[in-house]
Amino acid sequence: MTTGVAGQGLAMAGKKNPWGGSGGGDSGDAGRGDADQGPDSGDADPPSGDKGGPRGEGPRNPWLPGGGEDGKRRSASIEDIFRNRGPEGPRRRGGGPGGPNFRMPQRPGGKSWAPVIAVVVIGAFLLLSSIHLVEPREQGVVKRLGSYSRTLDPGLHFTLPFPIETVDVEDVQGVRAVNIPASNQRAKLILTGDQNLVDLSYTVRWNIKDLADFKFELADPIETVNEVAEAAMRASVAEKTLDETFTGQGRAEIQQRVRLRMQEFLDAYGAGIDVLGVEIAKADPPGEVVDAFRDVSVAEQNADAARNEARGYAQQTLSRAEGEAEAFTKVYEQYRLAPEVTRQRLYYETMERVLAQTDKTVVEADNVTPYLPLPELQRRSRQQAPAGQ
């Protein structure tokens, strides 16, 4: 690739220079020279301006300051060019024909430089097109007159010059990654085996296994990789259920299967491509149903919360039971030592506590107080309550 471009550049330079050279040497052809070229050659040979013919000898270089009167060329520095650009510039003023005002130095014998320059340029180009530096991660295929000749491994190589042998150097070790769907594409939903849809994006990494196969066997290897990846992915996802595509285990299996499938397909096409790996970046439910999927995880949390609450209750209940049982047991142990006394004591203590906090009315037997002022008692107790606070 690189040599090809360099070759073209050189070829163009080779075409340019001989024209300029011959033009300067012979006739009014110089007028057709490029803007860059004129000043350059002119600088190389300042006195050539003297030789500029009188007006009307031929088309003059329109890019140069008009040398009509004295024939002397001014240096064509950038400032001059811009200064002369105005309406009063020489482009207007000196639009008329002028003589060619630069020349190559004379060759001994008065011959043209053109053949010499042409030979040098072509020679350099041929030399450059036969030297090839192949970098460590690269390989190059050599085609001799269109026919595959050999593969170049990394290192410095010499081939026959262009156009007999052409070399195409390609990075073979470098891993190329394809994202599917590409970032500018809309997500395509993939059908799972249980007829659900999953929104999947993945990356395929590959490199070149055999450069000659890669170059000559497939019309469009990169597009083929994309298509094969999609076919393999859809076939593999169709073997799994939706839930499996969400789990790590299922995903790993899908990745593995896609890789093997792709390799199988590509080998069948003789693509010369190694599929290094397939990674699923994202496996999500489609946007339309994502709420329902979220609700499932919410439900899981709810269920867990309910279980936790129940466990809390259980611990509380058991602790309380143990506490009460223990308290009873302790008291009972003492009670057994002196049953009657303990019983009496507990009775009186409890009554004390109870009656100390309640309103008490002792009703004398039978005839004394037949009327129970219950509402009044209640009122009194209600009045007491705020006062007590």
What would the two tokens of residue 252 be?
Answer: 């790993």
Relative orientation angle of helices 221-237 and 248-268, to the nearest 10 degrees: 140
**From the CB of 347, what's the least distance to other proteins, in Å?**
7
Taking Cα atoms as reference points, which of 22, 16, 30 lies closest to residue 63?
30
Nearest distance in Å: CB 361, other proteins: 5
What's the CA gap between 38 and 34, in Å, rounded? 6
- Toward other proteins, which CB reaches closer, 25 or 65? 25
In the complex, the smallest distance separating the C-beta of residue 330 from other proteins, rounded to whole angstroms, is: 10
Please state the closest distance from residue 26 (CB atom) to other proteins, in A: 16
Smallest separation, CB 360 to other proteins (Å): 5
Q: Which residue from 294, 297, 272 is spatially nearest to 285, judged by alpha carbons?
A: 294
Task: For the CB of residue 124, give the shortest distance to other proteins in the complex, in Å.
Answer: 24
Nearer to other proteins, 103 or 143 (CB): 143
CB of 145 or CB of 252, closer to other proteins = 145
Helix (H) or strand (E) holding 197: strand 197-208
Residue 84's nearest CA partner among 62, 109, 104 is 62
Q: Which is nearer to other proteins, 93 or 311 (CB)?
A: 311
Minimum distance, C-beta of residue 93 to other proteins, in the bound complex (Å): 43
What tokens does 299 get?
């439900």
With tokens 């809309």, the residue in question is: 186
Q: Which is nearer to other proteins, 78 or 337 (CB)?
A: 337
Question: d(Cα 165, Cα 290) in Å, to the nearest integer?
Answer: 59
Copy the structure tokens of residue 109: 């014998």
Residues across the chain: 389
CA angle 148, 152, 155 (to 5 degrees): 160
**57 or 149: CB nearest other proteins:** 149
Which letter, b or e, does each residue of 240-250 get, where b requires 16 or more Cβ atoms within 10 Å of its Cβ? Answer: bbbebbeeeeb
Question: With respect to other proteins, which residue has the nearer C-beta, 55 or 380?
Answer: 380
